Amino acid sequence: MLISASRGYKELPTLTAISLDQINRALSSRLTPWTDLATAATPSTSTARPTRPPSQSPSLPPPFQTSSPHHPGLPPSPRGRYPFILYPSSFIRACPNSNATHRTHHKLVSIHRKTRFNLPRQGLRKMSTLTAITSSTSPLASAFKKQKVAIIGSGNWGSAIARIAGNNALKLSDIFEYEVSMYVYEEDFNGKPLTQVINELHENPKYLPGIKLPENVVAYPSAAKAAEGATLLVFVLPHQFIRSVCTQLKGQINPEAYAISMIKGVEVKDGEISIFADVIEETLGVECAALSGANIANEVAEDKFSETTIGHREGEKGKEAAELFFKLFDTPTFKVGMIEDVAGVSLCGALKNVVAIAAGFTDGLGWGDNAKAAIMRIGLLEMKRFSEEFFKGVKPETFTETSAGVADLITTCFGGRNRKCAEAFVKTGKSFEVLEKELLNGQKLQGSETAREIHEFLKARGKVDDYPLFKAVYSIAYEGIDAHDLTSKL
Amino acid sequence: MLISASRGYKELPTLTAISLDQINRALSSRLTPWTDLATAATPSTSTARPTRPPSQSPSLPPPFQTSSPHHPGLPPSPRGRYPFILYPSSFIRACPNSNATHRTHHKLVSIHRKTRFNLPRQGLRKMSTLTAITSSTSPLASAFKKQKVAIIGSGNWGSAIARIAGNNALKLSDIFEYEVSMYVYEEDFNGKPLTQVINELHENPKYLPGIKLPENVVAYPSAAKAAEGATLLVFVLPHQFIRSVCTQLKGQINPEAYAISMIKGVEVKDGEISIFADVIEETLGVECAALSGANIANEVAEDKFSETTIGHREGEKGKEAAELFFKLFDTPTFKVGMIEDVAGVSLCGALKNVVAIAAGFTDGLGWGDNAKAAIMRIGLLEMKRFSEEFFKGVKPETFTETSAGVADLITTCFGGRNRKCAEAFVKTGKSFEVLEKELLNGQKLQGSETAREIHEFLKARGKVDDYPLFKAVYSIAYEGIDAHDLTSKL
């Protein structure tokens, strides 16, 4: 019997009310009975992890041993990516009544009925019909291969997102492996290594104090160790660390994994501009999506209502990755939207900070709500125009309609350090360098940094004047132009 | 000589440096010299108005008397709308060196040169060439017929906009007549009629205290009197008064005038929904545009930077009207944008208040910035979707890209009475009716009113569930649903 273990997961239809007895009666009348395929198809690759629960089917014989590097114990995929699993008929056993198996059972029945595979309500007619729908494109195929999640990063936002991913991995145990590993840059916390503190307390007291992490989130001091065997990699690091971490991971990770970047900012190097999703994709050779939104970490961690946006690549793989990350992050209070636009989502997260500097200037000038809203509107359109001009496949609605676009711009221009420092810049007359020392403990302010990078990029192309708001922010921040001139060229 | 007096006015090219002497030398060498065409073409229709300056050319003979009701003293328009003016050659006189004439002169020369009418830099070759470009489509034709402006309304926003219109009428005296009339609902102010106070003080101490109005803004206690002879009518009244004022004006106004509505809100009557621009257009039979934006009146009155949006009708007339209103309102600190979408601009101004109620709920609930931004984003898209579903010709970018759309939503959801009352609604548990009495001196809150009207409209069509945020606002405001359920169905 040939069964696929695609990672493509889609929302399945509501279960129909067919009892397990009915199904088993139908199955046993014609066929070898049902087995716990989900468990059998997911050989554990990380039994040494500290908080993993015991396997539910330890006595099941292993499938054919093969050489697939991605899925040890599974034969290589005929499509090069998704392994097909060949089980000897002796593995087909009676339903062991596990939850996962129940779900799989019911889904199969439900899908059969929905897709009119000639399935009578009272039972399954043919096992061959069952086999037919478990093709590599079947929406339920993911039930046969669980996703292993690694969070690369553990700051304020990293810890908040690890909490969500950990909780969803527990809830959707037929999709995700139990453990969600988290790379933590090792440092001392009250005389103990931070990883140890996190794993003992189930909390990151340094960067997200007061918020409990689920017990399946496990901290590792090594990025490579955290990423070991992962099929879903979540990059949530300050952007200055991304290249060094990618270097550590190079050659160490599953080449068929999917990655997602939650990194704000852009990289301007040698006159070229890059988003970090592309940097990750090129460095590690894995497909990389992006996630951004109106997401103040502490509010997300407290389960206050919030939305976010996943920007994914085009094609089947891009959509498949997005749907998996959707499942990993979506909750009733953290609503995930999806759009086929990695660049747009990434650029929103970087360029909004430049607009927030301008918004902060208006606050410092005491110009009022009309002016601030106008600056935000003009800024949003410059963000969109810049992205459309210099990146392929950018969608305008990413900017004007998603949480990554307009909503994040709103939170950033009303809260946030960029707005705050820009207000202080106007009111105190101090430079951003001084304010970074005084207000941010020497940390770099992203908005003013990005304004400078964008300016250099545009200057090299003779296009500075095409973006008058970006230009005004740069001129005020770095060229001593009076902040009152903010709108004189708009 | 045939000269047109179209009202179509466009930005004219920068003046070239040709002296008046040079032009007059050139003219006198071949032709009857130049006349003050602008003055001659604009017979005064309101000499009795109090603050009008003396005409600059009182001794000019009148042009041919004809029957045009719109432009007394001018022949009827061959296009039915824009009169062509026929002057006997004896009217062609030497340039009287008035500013208006200078400008007309220089513009003619400049346009000649730009449009390659074979004009040498040192002078004009033929008067016939001059005649040729003063066709009905010439951008400078407006110089020959001035616009008479009437502001119908004098509240906080009406007074602020009258100040701008008055100033621009003074600056662009070749386009607009000197006086800008303003209809003021007569009431007592410290023992004097408010109109008298306004005309003496040049300030509206009741609704816009502390802000000087230019002296050419003249208050009238009668709407019909204020609108007399007006070619541009600006409606800026609370929406409950619009029908009664239109009744007063019916048959009294110039049928070829253009109107613009700055009225917030929609009218829901007999299960139908209307914008007030349509109500004005249908009642008075004049083409009506709409203006809306992130425009807190006091900030605009203080010349703090602000943007606004004119939504105009399609076609030549729609564009012409928009361009005239653009000239009337645009200043360096009050930037006017234009879009061909009267309904979208009007609906933004009404529906944003419903979203502001929802935003106020999140404030009351203490849900934080993420939630508020999410509600605003979802609200903006419901506003857009509602408008697209029930109105023709609505443009999505009106909502997502203009000052009337996203920018006004931002100011309304952060400042404004709707947000404030909704916050108090959650925090105090008092009804909107009680809060209107306590916080608004019994004035109706637009957001909760519009939420109710929209709900009734959608209910009649079985579409309440298609707009979950609007539904949630209604349910919380009027059906006792807990505010915590605001996002449960989003």
Q: What is the pLDDT of residues B231-279, one digit of tens each?
A: 999 999 998 899 999 999 999 999 999 999 999 889 998 889 999 999 9
Assess whether pLDDT exceeds 90 at residue B112: no
| Residues of chain B neighbouring A406 (CB-CB closer than 8 A) | 376-377, 380, 400, 406
Q: What is the mean pLDDT of residues B457-465?
A: 96
Asked if A407 and A305 touch (Cβ cutoff 8 Å), the reply is: no
Axis-axis angle for helices A99-114, A20-30 (nearest 10): 80
The tokens for A144 are 């046969």
Cβ pair B369:A408 closer than 8 A: no
- B105/A164: higher pLDDT: A164
Burial class (CB in 10 A: 0-12, 13-18, 19+), A57: middle
A331 secondary structure, DSSP code: B
Among the options A264, A352, A384, A395, which is catalytic?
A352
Cα–Cα distance between B211 and A439 in angstroms, integer? 39
Query: What angle is formed at CA A276 by the lines to CA A272 and CA A280, rounded to 5 degrees?
Result: 110
- Residues B339 and B316: their CA atoms lie apart, in Å, by 13
Contacts of A377 in chain B (CB under 8 A): 294, 307, 401-403, 406-407, 410
- Over residues B73-90, mean pLDDT: 32
Instruction: Please tell me which of A36-50, B75-89, B468-482 the model is most confident about, judged by mean pLDDT.
Output: B468-482
CA A378 to chain centre: 29
- Is B215's Cβ below 8 Å from some Cβ in A? no
Grade residue A211 by pLDDT with cuts at 50, 70 and 90: very high
B305 touches chain A (CB under 8 A): yes
Q: How many angstroms separate the Cα of A324 from the Cα of each of A236, A300, A320, A330?
A: 17, 20, 6, 10
pLDDT for A449 beyond 80: yes
Q: How far, CA to CA in Å, does A200 sit from each of A51, A221, A224, B18?
A: 11, 14, 21, 85
CB contact under 8 A, B400 and A403: no
Distance from CA of A294 to the nearest CA of B (A): 5
Please, where in chain B does CATH 3.40.50.720 lie?
146-340
Average pLDDT over every residue of A223-234: 97
Question: A5: pLDDT confidence band, cut at 50, 70 and 90?
Answer: very low
Instruction: Read off the pLDDT of each residue in A247-273 and give the average, rounded to a whole number.
Output: 93
Contact with chain B for residue A335, Cβ under 8 A = yes
Q: What sign for the dihedral angle of Cα A241, A247, A248, A251?
A: positive
Q: Which of A161, A334, A377 to mutate to test the interface with B (most CBs of B within 10 A)?
A: A377
Residues sharing a CB contact under 8 Å with residue B278, sequence separation 6 or more, in sequence order: B288, B342, B343
What is the reported pTM?
Answer: 0.74
Tokens of B171: 């600056």
Q: Min CA distance, B374 vs chain A (Å)?
A: 6
Stronger pLDDT, A45 or B458, i.e. the higher one: B458
CA gap B244, B232 in Å, rounded? 20
CATH number of the domain located at residue range(s) B146-340 in this protein: 3.40.50.720
- Cα-trace Rg, chain B: 25
Whole-number pLDDT of residue A145: 81
Token pair belonging to A196: 């140890």
Q: Is A381 on the interface with B (CB under 8 A)?
A: yes
- B294, A374: Cβ pair inside 8 Å? yes
CB contact under 8 A, B401 and A408: no
Q: Give the C-alpha distances (Å, rounded to integers) separating A258 from A205, A284, A313, A410, A421.
A: 29, 10, 11, 30, 37
One-letter identity of residue B113: R
Residues in CB range of A3: below 8 A, 6 or more apart: A37, A41, A84, A85, A87, A131, A134, A141, A144
| Stronger pLDDT, A469 or B134, i.e. the higher one | A469
CA distance A339 to chain B (A): 15
- The pairing of strands B2-4 and B84-86 is antiparallel
Q: Which residue of A has its CA nearest to B295?
A: A370
Per-residue pLDDT, A20: 43
Supply the residues of B annotated as catalytic: 352
ipTM: 0.74
pLDDT tens sequence across A363-416:
999 999 999 999 999 999 999 999 999 999 999 999 999 999 999 999 999 998
Smallest Cα–Cα separation from A231: which of A70, A40, A67, A37?
Answer: A70
pLDDT at A443: 85
pLDDT tens string A270-314 = 889 999 999 999 999 999 999 999 999 999 999 999 999 999 999
Question: How would you class A79 by CB atoms within 10 Å of its CB: exposed for 0-12, middle for 13-18, buried for 19 or more?
Answer: exposed
Which runs of E-coded beta strand occur in B376-450? none
A142 CB within 8 Å of a chain B CB: no
The better pLDDT of the pair B174, B122 is held by B174
Are the beta carbons of A414 and B414 separated by less than 8 Å?
yes
Q: Which amino acid is at B374?
A: A
Instruction: Tell me how far apart the alpha carbons of residues A426 and B72 are, in angstroms, rounded to a whole number.
Output: 56
Is A489 touching B (CB cutoff 8 A)?
A: no
Q: Minimal Cα distance from A305: which residue of B? A: B371
pLDDT(A225) > 90:
yes
Question: Tokens 């250099």 correspond to what residue?
Answer: A456
Which chain B residues touch A486 with a CB distance below 8 Å?
A: 305
C-alpha dihedral (B432, B438, B442, B444), degrees to nearest 10:
-30
**B330 interaction partners in chain A (CB closer than 8 Å):** none
B186 touches chain A (CB under 8 A): no
Interface check for A385 against chain B (CB to CB < 8 A): the answer is no
Inter-chain Cβ pairs, chain A and chain B, closer than 8 A:
138
Question: What pLDDT shows up at residue B88?
Answer: 30
Rounded alpha-carbon distances, angstroms, from residue A385 to A21, B120, B366, B381: 61, 42, 35, 21
Percent of chain A whose predicted confidence (pLDDT) is above 70? 71
> Percent of chain B having pLDDT more than 70?
71
pLDDT of residue B132: 30
Q: Which residue has the tokens 């003013």?
A: A448
Domain with CATH 1.10.1040.10 in chain B: 346-485
Q: What is the mean pLDDT of chain A?
A: 78
Residue A487, classed as helix, strand or coil, is: helix
CB contact under 8 A, B299 and A487: no
The band of B135, judged by pLDDT with boundaries at 50, 70 and 90, is: very low
Three-class SS state of B259? strand
Mutate to test the interface with B, among A292, A300, A305, A306 (most CBs of B within 10 A): A305
Q: How does pLDDT run across B158-202, given as a tens digit for each residue? A: 999 999 999 999 999 999 999 999 999 999 999 999 999 999 999
B371 to A305: CB separation less than 8 angstroms, yes or no:
yes
The amino acid sitting at A220 is Y
Give the β-pairing of A272-275 and A266-269. Answer: antiparallel
Are B374 and A406 in contact (CB < 8 Å)?
Answer: no
> For residues A358 and A378, what is the distance between their CA atoms, to the nearest angstrom?
10
Residue A77 CA: distances (Å) to CA of A70, A72, A315, A332, A350:
10, 12, 19, 36, 38
pLDDT at position B139, please?
A: 41
Is a pLDDT exceeding 90 seen at residue B120?
A: no
What integer pLDDT is reported at residue A144 of this predicted model?
A: 56
CATH class of A346-485: mainly alpha
The tokens describing B34, both together, are 């130049």
Q: What angle do CA B365, B371, B373 make, to 5 degrees?
A: 125
- Taking the C-alpha atoms of residue B437 and residue B470, their distance in angstroms, rounded to an integer, is 24
Residue B130 has a CB neighbour count (10 Å cut-off) of 22
Q: With beta carbons under 8 A apart, name residues in chain A contacting B381.
A: 401
Torsion over CA: A239, A240, A243, A244 (sign): negative
Residue B371 has pLDDT above 60, yes or no: yes
Chain B hits for A352, Cβ within 8 Å? none
DSSP B61-103: PP------SSSTTSPPPTTSSS-EEE--GGG-------HHHHH
Choose among A373, A415, A490: nearest Cβ to B369. A415
Closest CA to B232 of B360, B167, B337, B321: B321
